[in-house]
Structure formats: structure tokens, C-alpha cells
A = this chain, B = another copy of it.
Amino acid sequence: MNITGELLINGSSHMGKDGHFQAIEAATGKHLPGTFGGATVEDLAQATEAAWKAFPIYRETNLEKRAAFLEKIAELIAATGDELIARTMAETGLPKARLEGERMRTVNQLKMFAREVRSAHFIDRRDDPADLNRKPQPKPGLIFRNIGIGPVAVFGASNFPYAFSVAGGDTAAALAAGCPVIVKAHPAHPGTSEVIGRCVQQAVAACHMPAGTFALLQTTEPEIAQKLVADPHIRAVGFTGSRKGGLVFMDIAAKRKQPIPVYAEMSSINPVLLLPGALEERGSEIGTSFINSLCMGAGQFCTNPGLVLAINGKGYDAFLNSAREATKAAVPQTMLTPNIAKAYRDGVERLENNAKVTTIARGKPGSEFECQAALFEVSASDFIKDHRLEEEVFGSSSLIVKCNDKHDLIKVLEALEGQLTIAIHLTNSDNALANELMPLLEIMAGRLLINGFGTGVEVSPAMVHGGPFPSTSDGRTTSVGTAAIYRFLRPICYQDFSENILPSLLK
């Protein structure tokens, strides 16, 4: 493993000259070895021009070869060994087992898209043959297919250094769709990004793909990131991060001479509904499993259960007590970056200082780089009055909204913004209420789940990881699962083409 701090562009690498930065050890705030050079506007132009040049060749690659290319990336990532895990642990503060699992998930995701490519399903080819004898007009011969939308800018996410980063979901989906990818590495894990980026670059060479098919840019300058979104050669954007960051990109993309789609995953508090029967039957058990989910990975998941809507009644106190005890017992965990740890403390402080909010419990305290779990409670009426209570606090903090009855619950739901997930805890006696709520829940979220929590996003063809604004910028798509490939495709129709001028993939 060789971390040089270089940019990876058009099949080669060089040091960026627009300043330099070092990785930060999440657990200590200290610098880690290695200096990363920041990409200049020239580097950016070189990467997007190479991608543009690669695009017509890459999008027409034989599907078997394209699938083998994805598998080659998977193979090289799988072989990165313990050294990479150690580096990523240092950069992100995430534990070994989690990172090993996430790496395997990333490898499997690439393999899943390889299967999707081989299936040719996503091309959605449709043939309407000509009928020259049709009256009053002869019928033309039409062939429909989906093709890659163009070079895609992917922004690595801090919270998934493998699965939503350099070779994560958006990169795999875009490459599968036939689109070159330019990744802007997240500065929270630049060394990890370079190692994975080199795997992709090596696979490009080994599989004889055009050199411009992939590039990795390192930078800490927001301006470079914004210029990437504005670049005319970029035709779509994949982003996971803050609402503020996502909105900036959406705005830039909409104001381009040619607007482009932005797939930004931004902000979701993933409501958990506790229906009366479930609370009565197993309130205490739900309290424990809720806090387990909340504290997993220091709560740094997009699908973290940041809001609980519970109807007061039998079992509510049991739920609250067990959640309180589990929170108190929660051990501190290193957060992804010192900035995230600070934002978490600030968010928790805002809730603690809100006169309408009761602090139910705090977890065990830790260092300034660690997440101390936090559990709050507020009444439904106070929640509805104060929109700030709906703001995501990224980390192991959750707010229980105590509802008097189902009418309260519905009012709270109607006041909420779009979500990635909504979980419903129920038992048989709650089915009527669940059925009553379902039409409302369906239009609020991309995934509804029963008796579980949104954390743990299965990578499979039926997954939807997306949802109405502001959980994502575009609720018509998913970022996880095979359907993610449709983000990076557009339809085109060929009319009256003879065999010898049809694109090679249609021959």
C-alpha cells in the first residue's frame, strides 16, 4: 500500500499544486502521515476533458467486458488487506469489524452491478419494427435503448469510507451505466480514497478501458468542488452529505447553461412509530433495541433513528425506562471527524437548552472526539410548534415525541419533511391503525419497515435508499440496489437505422 498524496487523472498520477493537507486521526485530532496535494482548476479540466473523451468509447463497451471491469475493481479492493483497514480506522475512527464488513459490502455491490450489466436489463431495449404497408402513413422502424447520461461527478461521503465513497454505490452504478466517473475524495479519509482510487485506476488499465474513465481529485477547497458541478463535461452529480452542501450543488446545477441532475442525499431523521399494541406488548424490549440501533457506529448513519413518535399509553413508561437505561449505559465512540464531533455537541446542546425539551438520559462521557449518546423527549404540540426540532443531529441523539393519541401522531407526521425511512413498530392489534397511516407514510419516505430500524441497508435489487426532499434532492431514484443504475441513464430512439450504422451494442 503506497499513499503518495497524488491525484489520479487520465491513467496517471501527479501531485496537486493548489495547497496541501494532511489526514486527521479521528480519535486524537492529530495529523496522520502523508501529504495530499490539492487539485487545481487545470487538474479539474484535465480530468473532465479526459472523461468526456472516454465517454463515447466507454459507454459503448461490450457488456461482458464492462462487467469484468467492475469485477476487477472488486477483486483489487478485496485484496487491499489489513493495512488499508488500519489506515481507514485511523482516518475515520470506525472499528475494524465494521470496516471489514463495509469493504466486503462494497466488493459485493460492484459484483452485483456486474451481474446487472451482464443482464442488459437496464438497457430496456425496445424494438418496434417498420411496417411500410401501413396506411395512411408507413410505420417507421424504431429501436429504443437507455444510454449513459455522461461523465458523473461523485462526492465521497465521510460516513462510509468504502461503500459511499471512491468505489461506492454511485461510482459502481455510474460505471455500470456506461458513464466515466470523477470522484472528489472526502478530506476525512484521503489516504483510504487514494488506495481505493488506485484499485479503480489499475482496473481501468488492466481491462483496457479508456484512461479517462476514472479520476480521483483531492481538495479541501469548496470552490473546486463547485467548479466540478459546474463543469460542462459533467452530466450528473452524486453526493451524500449535509443539507447545506446538497442545496449549494442543486443550485449550481440548476443555473448551468445546461442544467444537470443532482442526486444528493442530505437530511433524514427517520421517524420510528411506536403503535399502542406494540408498546404494550414489548415496550421495554423496543426501548433497548432502539438505543442499540441509535448507538450503532456512533449514530453516524443516514438512516439513524433520530425521531420516535410514540403514543402514550400502556408500555410507554416501560419503553422510556429501558431506553433511558440503555442510553446511560452507552459507551462513547470516536466520531468520524473532529468537526462532526463538535457539530454533534452543538446539536445536543441546542436540544438541552430548549425549554420544551426534556433530557431523558445521556450516555457515558468521552473525549472531545467521541460521541456521548443523548435521548430527549418533547410533547407532540411543542414539537409541531418548533421546526428546529426537526433538524438532524448527526450522531447518537434522538428525540421522542410523546403523542396523546393517533390524531397527535398524524399531526406530527403531516408536519414532517421527506424521509429516507420510516419504521413502524406494531403488533396484530395495531394493524387497523397501520393501514390507516400507510397512505400518508408512503408519500413521506423511500422505505417503510416493520418492527425494525432503518440502519442496516440491505444491498439488493429491491432496496430503495432514497426519498422525498430533503432526504434526497430527487425522490425518483435510489442510491442503493440495482435500480440505482437508472440515475445515470437516459433514453434514446433510433429511427430507420440500418444495421451498418447502428451503435455496436445494438447490433
Contact = CB atoms under 8 A, between A and B. Distances in A.
Interface of A: 55-56, 60, 101, 124, 126-128, 136-137, 139-140, 142-144, 147, 149-150, 250, 254, 258-259, 261, 417-418, 426, 431, 434-435, 438-440, 442-443, 445-452, 456, 458, 460-464, 466, 468-470, 473-478, 481, 483, 489-498, 500-501, 503
Contact of A450 (B440, B452, B478, B501): B501
A500 B144 contact: no
Contact of A476 (B426, B434, B489): B489
Contacts of A477: 491
A469 B450 CA distance: 42
Contact of A462 (B144, B447, B468): B144
- Name which of A55, A431, A470, A493 has the most chain B CB atoms within 10 A of its CB: A493
Contact of A492 (B440, B442, B495, B503): B442
Nearest to A454: B495
Contact of A448 (B442, B445, B448, B493): B493
Given A258-B418, A448-B492, A449-B495, A434 B501 contact: yes
Given A431-B500, A452-B496, 16 more contacts: A55-B443, A56-B439, A56-B443, A128-B458, A140-B458, A150-B443, A250-B259, A254-B254, A258-B468, A259-B469, A438-B503, A447-B493, A448-B492, A448-B493, A450-B501, A466-B491
A125 B360 CA distance: 42
A127 B458 CA distance: 13
A460 B128 contact: yes
A293 B128 CA distance: 23
Contacts of A446: 490-493
A126 B493 CA distance: 27
Nearest to A498: B450
Contact of A250 (B254, B431, B434): B254
Identical subunits present = 2
Nearest to A149: B476
Q: Which 3 A-B pairs have the closest CB atoms?
A: A56-B439, A449-B495, A464-B493
Contacts of A139: 458
Given A458-B142, A462-B126, A473 B438 contact: no
11 contacts: A56-B442, A149-B475, A434-B501, A445-B492, A447-B494, A449-B495, A450-B497, A450-B501, A451-B496, A452-B495, A478-B491
Given A250-B254, A460-B142, A492 B418 contact: no
A195 B86 CA distance: 71
Nearest to A495: B449
A259 B483 contact: no
A144 B491 contact: no
B461 A495 contact: no
- Name which of A147, A450, A490, A491 has the most chain B CB atoms within 10 A of its CB: A491
A9 to B, nearest CB: 22
Contacts of A442: 56, 147, 492, 503
- Name which of A56, A464, A466 has the most chain B CB atoms within 10 A of its CB: A464
A451 B417 CA distance: 51
A134 to B, nearest CB: 10
A229 to B, nearest CB: 15
A472 B261 CA distance: 13
A475 B149 CA distance: 9
- Name which of A443, A449, A469 has the most chain B CB atoms within 10 A of its CB: A443
Contact of A261 (B418, B439, B443, B476): B476
A497 B424 CA distance: 10
Contacts of A460: 128, 142
Contacts of A451: 496
Contacts of A456: 137, 140
A81 to B, nearest CB: 21
B259 A493 contact: no
Contact of A464 (B136, B470, B492, B503): B492
A48 to B, nearest CB: 15
A247 B320 CA distance: 51
A233 to B, nearest CB: 11
Contacts of A254: 250, 254
Nearest to A476: B490
A501 B435 contact: yes
Contacts of A503: 438, 442
